[in-house]
Structure 1
């Protein structure tokens, strides 16, 4: 294929004189375009119908249809084709008509100079290429602008839809996380019941500690997340004691010998380390580590003092000591409830946060002894007074310490019948702390947060 054909450009020469056509072909034979010829206007129009042409050079004076008329038709039918008029006469009228009707790009004179002819054609084709590229870019710009307008028109809707999708995903994650946290709370209370199996019934302290910190958290309006962490810490605060033998477990801490006391002082840190593999329990583990710190800095394991002790750990220590004083786990002599409260008051500002201790004593004074580990809105009922729809406000444990039902469980008629049958088989009577059906929905919502 010739260089001309590789460029894909065509120039049409129109003249009624074959010698002129031959001379033009010789002058332009080495140019980078294909040359086509026609010896009259009619032949030129027929060729243009079959073959796209970039540029037409027409003689002005031809029999039949002259050059200006031909170029006028070319302009009407193929406006993208450049038009040049070649004339050997100084005919002003012809030139004006060609310019007005044919919108010619340029006119050339006969005889021509070969170099000038080639330069004129190169300039004409370069101009045409620039015009085509300009139109292409304009067309591309319009298309892109239309596309951009469409995108802008849809962008707000897409943003709303995407925002809604993200919000839905976030809500699902929040719900899943809340369910996971609730599952961890339930699991920790199951572990707590297992820990209690190592102790006699009269020294099982976890359930009471859990109830107390729940009531205390409610009174102080502790945020839900911190309240969950505190409840889990209350359930597992003595996890580090699992490795102790039964003799050490049952011995009051004030009667421990030196070696036993050293081991006793290690149990909070050991409890935290046992929970390190469970990320949702990290915060609860930190409270467990520091729940034996003292307000005056003489506690263990890190000798923290005053506000350096986490708030939840300060609260947990008060509840743990209050219960363990009555269980005989701290002093050789078991204290009564009133004596335990008096002990807390005397040691406020030394062992305990004085402000928290004051609130705790006020809470215990307001609640009846048997309800000291519950909270307002809770009623105590035996199994035969239960109704479907009620929700447990605290865990239900068998006399052996085994966890039967966990807090937040909604009662149904079959479940109530099973509890009554279990009582008969065990020869026991159970009191359940429940919320009435009217407040059950609020309880379930609170547990899910």
Structure 2
């Protein structure tokens, strides 16, 4: 269930629905009849603007095509004259230009597609109004803080004799103001993460990536002592790296990129630049947008959109590619087969110097070990072998499980030739490929003199 909006019976949210088709308005009104909303409807932009001029409106949801004005232009007008009204675009259009116009000029909270899913639409409206309520509360608190600050300044000028006794109180107030200012600077990063969660609604749960990529990037920033600005830019880039995919069909969004047909592949190669264009108008996101544009560049210059090579690729983009590929390989969004975390890291190591910055790869593996809480990934005395590379006397560094989860061998097991032969035969029978974590010979020799 969606988060409820903090409106009472005496303070109901005013919602204006705009669509050229009365039957659509009827369907929406029927869907929202049990919500704590005061509903108004209009079939054209002129009627909608008349309603807005006559009373405060909390949220407007407009269709993309209206008889006297397109929805994007209407929402841009509403943004200019009623900036505190939440704006949502309801469209059956696939025209990315219209959607970009609504986002850039109308600064819409989000857009929904026709035909809509009832639960998704209800959740979007509830979240939109909850966000509006929290923003109003934040503004109220900021005004209250400003009023308190002004009162304290006046007290300071008129009651000099009380300065000493008020020093502690004034310091506490100053600290509170500093904290409020820092929170404002972080609001864009927080907003980016919230929007990424909404964007993820387009994907099945098993294909959602943004939250894991955000956490992996944060783990990197902590491990490498990144400053606050770099941390925010990397986090926002991780949250919104795939915003340019939102105009894709559901099937294309969930398909492995290596299996896309030629026409879809061109759209795929355009998404980093489209993601950047959606964010460039927002000043605090310009640096994050640049990282997103180049996160599909490759170390050898074969990437896109600009075919940058080596250190010409921004450092943050090189890191973001590692994080995106590590998670998307496990989600089946790059190759048809979903990899586990071990296989994804082996893939990244294999293509170091071709797809990835070779100087970042091992540091990234160490961070993944921290992120996954897996000691063996970061142990320099552990190597990963295929079954046909195993030799008698080798010692397993971790448990070996079959693809179905069945335990085959325990960590610490000393291999012999019959056991290796049986393992190869079982792998062949199952049609699998096992990655076996082995302790280095130096450690084996110490254990078996």
Which has the bigger relative contact order, CA under 8 A and spacing at least 6? 1
Q: TM-score, normalised by structure 2?
A: 0.43
Q: TM-score, normalised by structure 1?
A: 0.43
